[in-house]
Amino acid sequence: MILGTILLIGPFTTATFDPRRSQTIVPNSILSSPPGSSPFDYLVVILMENKGFNSINGNAAYLNQLASSYSLATRYTAVDHPSLPNYLALSGADTFGCGGYDGAPNSNSCTSTAWLSQNIIDRIESAGLTWKGYMESMPSNCYNQDSGNYVVRHDPFVYYNDIVTNQARCNRIVPATASTDVELINDLGSTSTASNFMWLTPNLCNDMHDCSVAIGDNYLSQVVPKILRSNIFQMQKAALLITFDEGTATSLSDLVYTVWAGPVVKRGYQSAVAYSHYSVARTIESAWNLPTLTTNDASATAMTEFFTSPQQSALQ
């Protein structure tokens, strides 16, 4: 991996971020742990693309089987269109007014607002916890332009100033080998290499954006079992969330297929409680006692019903 020099560029450019404060990332081994009552100590999020609930339900054999074995949220919705505002909602608890926009970081008024905003990484690091983003087909760490099957709008972390211009943080946004994601799988081998919060963006084919449901489902059938068999998922309190950025319906009714899996997740469970992308930030905040970011996550329902009690998970 080649780390390029990051240049500061003025507002409404496709470039980098202007950090308002410096943050130091220390090795995983000396960081604090999540609260003992937390339903999970490790969370992996996989973001798929552009398929509504009904496009997946009954049409993606592996993902449907995973949902049947673990937990499915049947009333989980995207918050806007197109992709970018949903990625920002997941990472910053706001669309920042980017509905209808899919442009590069700091390239218009809405992305300039996101640029200087707090995000879930700020909250995670402030609690002494770790994170890492894995981006399939990304040319190099923290890359903030489209390249082949990598598109920057699917990498929410490079939309925040205080991430991209902090070299230690940039080093935590890494390329992932397409289809195998060995970087993530290897990191899940030990508590010394795994981060508390791990995000995987598949490339434009594997995430179903440019390729079929069958291809994306086959991809998940290869990667997810490796995640679930990893040391972290076998020995620690770990959870996996798979969801989609958006479907094709209007935002308030844009249901997307959302699955929880892992040793701390209820088996054979479904819920019709209304959730949205804002619920993901709220779930992390609730689990790890983090302050909320905006009124959106503050008012969202945390997805805690999908987790077993600590005592139950220890017996599984």
Percent of the chain with pLDDT strictly greater than 90: 84
Identify the CA nearest to 306 among candidates 290, 288, 287, 292: 287
Q: In which band, very low, low, confident or very high, does the pLDDT at 4 lie, cut at 50, 70 and 90?
A: very low
Is position 84 within any domain? yes
Question: Quick check: is 21 in a domain?
Answer: no
Output b/e per residue, 201-210; b: 16+ Cβ within 10 A.
bbbbbbbbbe
Average pLDDT value over all residues in the chain: 90
Between helix 83-92 and helix 278-288 the angle, nearest 10°, is: 20
List phi, psi (to 5°) of 33: -105, 160
Domain with 195, as residue range(s), is: 43-315
pLDDT digits (tens, 9 = 90+) for 18-48: 322 333 333 443 346 787 789 999 999 999 9
Residue 18 confidence (pLDDT): 32
Residue 32 lies in a domain: no
Into how many domains does the chain fold? 1
Residue 1 has pLDDT above 50, yes or no: no
The structure's pTM equals 0.89
pLDDT (mean) for 280-307: 98
Q: Determine, yes or no, domain membership for 72.
A: yes
Burial class (CB in 10 A: 0-12, 13-18, 19+), 1: exposed
Q: Is residue 290 part of a domain?
A: yes
CATH number where 179 lies: 3.40.720.10
Query: Is residue 237 scored above 90 in pLDDT?
Result: yes
Tens-place pLDDT, residues 151-208? 999 999 999 999 999 999 999 999 999 999 999 999 999 999 999 999 999 999 999 9
Residue 310 confidence (pLDDT): 58
| Alpha carbons 185 and 196: distance in angstroms, whole number | 14
pLDDT single digits (tens) 50-76: 999 999 999 999 999 999 999 999 999
- Give the span between the Cα atoms of 146 and 154, in whole angstroms: 10
Whether the bond between 82 and the residue before it is cis, its omega within 30 degrees of 0, is yes
In a domain? residue 23: no
Asked if the structure places residue 12 within a domain, the reply is no
**Residue 188 in tokens:** 């899940």
Is 161 a member of any domain?
yes
